[in-house]
């Protein structure tokens, strides 16, 4: 069985890779449907950017952006909502979302109350300042211990589907991101399905720069995105969160053929 693919749908003016492209309802719905047709197992609808430097969006505005899109997509594909606000999460579930993608790792009580799945992602700080000076004594241990504690909280509260995500790029330097990818099997060993999001992130453009050493711009990071998604899936990630669904589904299908049976999870 191949690993799952989560397609990114940012209904925002300012997301780092697709900001402004799907702010309009029709454009968002069409892109969500296209990702589903391309094989996305989940479409992740977000109305607030969490890129470095991003400012919070008022709740009313976030609801206005995401709820119609969630409602229109939910009959066709599994929908997750990328939010940190309990009110938006509850409303998105009422509109048909069945997974809370929570970069603040704080919404497990809402997941328990609503009977839906929950993604706990690690972040150091907040989007506004997280890339100013990320610091860890041992990034792998600190991220793992944080996620273990959140999983215990969520399991005790009765959440039945709990994902963990190392939060690539969320308060992390290039070296921190690389360490987390190298040690992904330690997260997989926790026994919970692991989600990884590297798609088009800036560290890809820094590690493998273009001619002359310039950081690769966001529109030239497809190869790095596929490479790191493949790396993550081979290390045991059960799902990858990506902008480029069709290419990633191809990679996931190949990984499904390649990876060892003991890395398979019952996530899907
Ligand atoms: N990355 C982003 C947003 N949400 N959720 C999870 N679970 N894991 C991630 O790595 C992750 C995430 C950032 O990417 P994107 O949505 O493309 O951009 P923006 O935050 O600017 O909308």
Alpha helices in the chain (DSSP H): 25-37, 59-73, 86-94, 108-114, 139-157, 174-182, 184-188, 202-207, 222-234, 245-258
Q: Which of 125-139, 185-199, 221-235 has the lowest mean pLDDT?
A: 125-139
Q: What pLDDT band is residue 10 in, cutting at 50, 70 and 90?
A: very high
- Ligand 1 contacts CB of residue 16 (under 6 A): yes
Closest residue by Cα to residue 154 from 204, 190, 199: 190
pLDDT at 129: 86
Position 267 confidence tier, pLDDT thresholds 50, 70, 90: very low
CB 151 within 8 A of CB 200: no
Ligand 1 pocket test, candidate residues 85, 197, 232, most atoms within 8 A of CB: 197
Cα separation, 5 vs 9, whole angstroms: 13
Averaged pLDDT, 229-240: 97
Closest residue by Cα to atom 15, ligand 1, is 15
Distance 161 CA to ligand 1 centre (A): 20
Q: Where is average pLDDT lowest: 60-64, 177-181, 245-249, 264-268?
A: 264-268
The ligand 1 atom at the shortest distance from the C-alpha of residue 54 is: 21
Q: Is the CB of 41 under 6 A from ligand 1?
A: no
* Residue where the block lists tokens 């990071």: 221
Beta carbon of 46 within 6 Å of any ligand 1 atom = yes
Average pLDDT rounded to a whole number, residues 96-101: 98
pLDDT bin (cut points 50, 70, 90) of residue 266 is: very low
Residue 70 CA to its chain's centroid (Å): 17
Distance 49 CA to ligand 1 centre (A): 8
* Active-site residue set: 201, 241
Is pLDDT at 2 greater than 50 in this prediction? yes
- DSSP label at 191? S
Query: Probe ligand 1: pick from 111, 162, 241, max atoms within 8 Å of CB?
Result: 241
pTM summary value: 0.96
- Could you tell me if residue 105 is left (phi over 0), alpha (psi between -120 and 50 degrees) or otherwise beta? left
Q: Round to whole Å and give the CA distance between 148 and 120.
A: 10
> Cα–Cα–Cα angle for 204, 162, 158, nearest 5°?
160
Query: How much is the pLDDT for 268?
Result: 45
Note the pLDDT of residue 52.
87
C-alpha 205/C-alpha 203 separation (Å) is 5
138-196 pLDDT per residue, tens: 999 999 999 999 999 999 999 999 999 999 999 999 999 999 999 999 999 999 999 99
């Amino acid at each position: 069985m191949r690993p799952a693919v989560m397609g990114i749908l940012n209904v925002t003016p300012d997301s780092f890779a697709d900001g402004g492209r799907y702010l309009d309802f029709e454009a968002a719905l069409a892109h969500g449907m296209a990702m589903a047709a391309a094989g996305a197992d989940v479409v992740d609808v977000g109305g607030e950017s969490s890129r470095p430097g991003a400012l919070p969006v008022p709740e009313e505005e976030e609801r206005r952006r995401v709820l119609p899109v969630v409602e229109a997509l939910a009959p066709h594909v599994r929908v997750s909502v990328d939010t940190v606000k309990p009110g938006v999460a509850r409303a998105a579930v009422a509109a048909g979302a069945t997974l809370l993608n929570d970069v603040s790792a704080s919404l497990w009580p809402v997941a328990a109350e609503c009977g839906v799945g929950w993604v706990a992602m690690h972040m150091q700080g907040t989007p506004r300042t997280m890339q100013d000076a990320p610091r860890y004594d041992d990034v792998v241990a600190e991220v793992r211990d944080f996620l273990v504690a959140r999983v215990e909280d969520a399991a005790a509260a009765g959440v039945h589907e709990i994902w963990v995500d190392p939060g690539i790029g969320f308060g992390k330097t290039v070296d921190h991101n690389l360490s987390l990818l190298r040690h992904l099997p330690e997260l997989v060993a926790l026994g919970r399905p692991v989600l990884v999001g590297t798609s088009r992130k800036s560290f890809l453009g820094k590690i493998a720069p273009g001619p002359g050493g310039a950081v690769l711009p966001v529109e030239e990071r497809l190869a790095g995105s596929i490479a790191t998604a493949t790396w993550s899936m081979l290390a045991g990630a059960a799902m990858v969160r990506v902008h480029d669904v069709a290419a990633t589904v191809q990679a996931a299908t190949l990984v499904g053929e390649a990876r060892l049976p003991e890395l398979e999870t019952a996530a899907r």
